[in-house]
């Protein structure tokens, strides 16, 4: 187990490219605005957690 500042953390795996991660964020944003409130809540939570950790897209 990895610890950061004495707090145990799960091991993190890099399984997506930055572009793929942005695509996942786009899908989650779409689902988060859907009609199924349970799934929308889950999507908003995951979207928020991922977005906080992913660098923003750079403008060309």
pLDDT tens readout for residues 20-46: 888 888 888 888 887 777 778 888 888
- By the 10 Å C-beta count (0-12 exposed, 13-18 middle, 19+ buried), 8 is classed as exposed
* pLDDT higher at 14 or 27: 27
**Residue 18 scores a pLDDT above 70:** yes
CA 19 – CA 55 distance, rounded (Å): 10
SS (H, E, C) the chain: CEEECCEEECCCCCCCCHHHHHHHHHHHHHHHCCCCHHHHHHHHHHHHHHHCCCCCCCCC
Answer yes or no: pTM beyond 0.85.
no
Q: What percent of the chain has pLDDT over 90?
A: 0
């Amino acid at each position: 187990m990895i610890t950061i500042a004495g707090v145990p953390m799960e091991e993190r795996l890099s399984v997506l490219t930055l572009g793929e991660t942005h695509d996942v964020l786009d899908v989650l944003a779409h689902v988060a605005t859907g009609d199924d409130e349970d799934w929308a809540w889950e999507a908003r939570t995951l979207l928020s957690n991922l977005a906080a950790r992913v660098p923003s897209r750079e403008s060309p």
